[in-house]
Structure formats: structure tokens, C-alpha cells
A and B are shown apart, each in its own frame.
Chain A
């Protein structure tokens, strides 16, 4: 009884091995999982066979099926054992130079010394020695490898991805054109990382940048908008930056930033009653009309050439202001006040004064 059961088990094992080798001989074997477990009911016995990973690879050999009942003949046994021995050798021995590497490493996988035909050495060398070889090398296992992303693999995958891409419109080839047709810039950030949570707190922040010159604003609206934005306006680049981070979602922050821009725009066009009381101190830039400088100049000129009785004061004023030297003086003073004191500005002022007083 015992003898027969052992025989049956051995036969079952041999038949299964032959089946596996048969399957391995076919082309789609590399796709099999490295550890294939075949649960098989054979002759009423449940056999759980766990096959070695190397046995799952393609052998390229054809195995003859022998009779199972009387037991395998000696020659068949030797042949089978030789083939199994070949299978147990590293796969690199059977690799062709022009093989398809994407079939060996189709996805990201750890480094397998028996599957990579490169003489790689890694690790700290022993005294008067070389770095350890690839067999059983933990350092090679630890480091992420890019064996699945060879140039060939990248090309193949990009070819497959190309149908999903769209082209950039050819009309927008320069930054100026982009600025002209699409003045608003929205900046958003995404994060990919490993941690206890997948969410990054800064991912909700949205920054909106727009140049005021691209918006439909008149003089008063522009000045009011600059005053309302305060710190968010950059005078050098004429950009208004609105950062929204109060809402939990990115889309909400984007909507809020657009809402802020809309409100700023429409408020800046409104003229309130109290805006009439704008004094000289509130002005953003120096204006020469009705300034002490203008009064002084007129007084000085009138003193140089005193008023005759026929001429009226108003006319004389107009005439004096219309003179070229006075205009030059006005330009130089405005420049000095607005841009600050520079060599060029001071020179211009000096020349203007000399001309006026005809020195």
C-alpha cells in the first residue's frame, strides 16, 4: 500500500514538472509570476507544488512526454535531469545579445543577479581586494535600479503615450504673445512623496499674477487699484500678485483669487464722495500744476519783467507758462521729485534754471 502511494506521488511530480517545462517552452512564459504555485488535483490526491523561480523562465527546449504508468525509462530520466539542470543555471547563460530587454524587465523589479548579464560589482572592497560581485549582493538589491527604463523601453512607452498628447498652439510661440492674449498667470503646486498621509498642506495654495497694463483701467481706476492692493503690487514689474490659501481645496482658492481680482477691479472704477477731498499729500506722484514751485517761478519771472498796466495778470501767466524754458524747468522739477536725485536729473535742472534766468 505504502509503496504504491509513493509511486503515485513521484509520478504526479514528474508529470507536473514536464507540464511546467512545456509551458515554459512557450513564448508567454516570462509574464508568469516568479513563484508559481499550482494547486492540482491528480488521481484524487491534492498536491501543492511550489516551483522554483528559475523553473518559470522560458527554456526554449521541448520536452518529450513519456509514459507515466510503468515508470520512466532510464534515458528519459537522464534527459529530464539534464534539462532541469540547465533550467537551474542562471538565465544569463542563455541570453542572446540582441534579445528584447523589455521582456526581461518590463516593470520596476529588484535587481536579479541571474537575470542581468552585466558584471556589476558594488560595495566596499576588502583589504587588497575588489568590490563584491553581483551574486547575493545586498547593496545592489537595496538601491533602486532603472533596468526597466532603458532608452528602448522609454521610446516604446512614449510611442504608446503620444496619442494622448496635444500640441501647443503654434500662434503662441513667444512670451509676449502669451502675455498679450493670456495676461493672467495662475501658479499651483503638486507634491508626490511618501509619508503617513498623502496630503501636503501647501498643495492648496494658489497664486494669481496679472499685469495692470493688460486690464481695462483708466487713470483714476489704476491709481485706486494700486492703493487698494497695497503690498501685493510690484511697481517695477507692474504686476499684481494675489495669493489665496484660506480655503482647503485648490479649486476653491482659485475661485477666491478670481473673485478678489473682480472685486478689486470693480471697486477701483467706483468714485466715492470722499475721494473729492484728495489732498496734495495723498497724490502718488508729483504734479507741477498748482505747486509752490510753479508759483515761485511765476513770481520770479514777473519780478524780472514787471507787469505793465495794459497787460492782465491771467494773460501774462498763460504766456509765461507757455514759454519753452518754463516747460523745460517744469520737466526737470517733475523728474527730480518723481525719480529722485541722479546725476542726469541734477544736470537737467541746472541747465533749465540757467536758461530761464538767462545766465
Chain B
């Protein structure tokens, strides 16, 4: 006899490790999705916004940038018949989802989940705006003493 064995996953909570390194902070996370079918984009927008709500992220803006139509006019026949042409067009629809004030870990989780469930035939562009502190070497000028000396001599 043959039996199908199912592998049971070990409890997820034991896999989480907290590192000492400070988390990156993103002031804005813009997800621009492109596709040829508007209905699929609508469904994906619903999915992405619902995920953001469930994970507790603030949805700043959900917009629909205007579509882009690329048109081609080609010859209908393989040889001669210049007056008879055929026209094609490629429509690209867009959806923009803006999320404000996310941490690096949350952004990673959200983006990975979103990207794994991206349907076939759609592309995504993610713009991350991270905020950082002024680094140590820009706090005080290296040549500060020199400039002070110059000023006093003048």
C-alpha cells in the first residue's frame, strides 16, 4: 500500500529572530502596477489595499494614472499592397498605491507578499524613499579650525 505523507511545518514563531541593527525607515513606499487588463488591475488593487489594511499600514493614496496607448500601423501583406495596412495598439493601464511611514521589516514583508501574488502579465515598479540621519562625518567640518583661524587673521 502507498500512503501520502504530509510534512507538518514547525511552529513559525520559533523562526523569528530580532537583530540589534536599527530598522530602515521609509517615509513613502510607492507601488506602481502596470498591466493590459483593467479588471485584473482592479482586483489586484483590492488585494493590495486589503493587505495593507490588515497589516496596519497607512494607505496615503490609491490612484489610477492615465493609460498609455502605443499604436502601430503595419503593412497587411507580405509583399506589395502598400495601400492596405493593419493597425495594432497596445494599452498599458496603471495603478499607483502609496503607503506612508513604514519600517524596513514591514515593507519587506508587505512587498514580498504582494510580489509573490502578482498575476501573470503584470509588472511592478516599487519606489522606496528611506529617511536617514546625518552621518557622523558631516556633523562638524574638518576644516572648521582652519577657517576660524583665517577669519581671525583677516
Interfacial residues, chain A to chain B (CB-CB below 8 A): 19, 23, 28, 31-32, 38, 40, 108, 143-144, 146, 149, 151, 154-155, 157-169, 172, 175, 178, 181-194, 210, 214-216, 220-221, 258, 261-262, 265-266, 269-271
Contact = CB atoms under 8 A, between A and B. Distances in A.
Nearest to B133: A182
Contacts of A193: 123-124
A283 B104 CA distance: 44
Nearest to A32: B4
Given A182-B131, A191-B125, A161 B141 contact: no
A40 B125 CA distance: 50
Given A164-B16, A186-B129, A192-B118, A214 B4 contact: no
A31 B6 contact: yes
A154 B127 contact: no
A162 B55 contact: yes
Interface string B13-47: 10010000001010100000000010110011001
Contacts, number: 156
A210 B27 CA distance: 14
29 contacts: A19-B2, A31-B4, A40-B2, A144-B40, A146-B43, A146-B47, A154-B51, A157-B113, A160-B12, A163-B16, A164-B16, A164-B109, A166-B23, A168-B101, A178-B25, A182-B25, A183-B134, A185-B27, A185-B131, A187-B129, A189-B125, A190-B111, A193-B124, A216-B139, A258-B135, A261-B138, A262-B137, A262-B138, A265-B138
Nearest to A23: B4
A216 B127 contact: no
B146 A184 contact: no
A178 B119 CA distance: 35
A245 to B, nearest CB: 15
B105 interface: yes
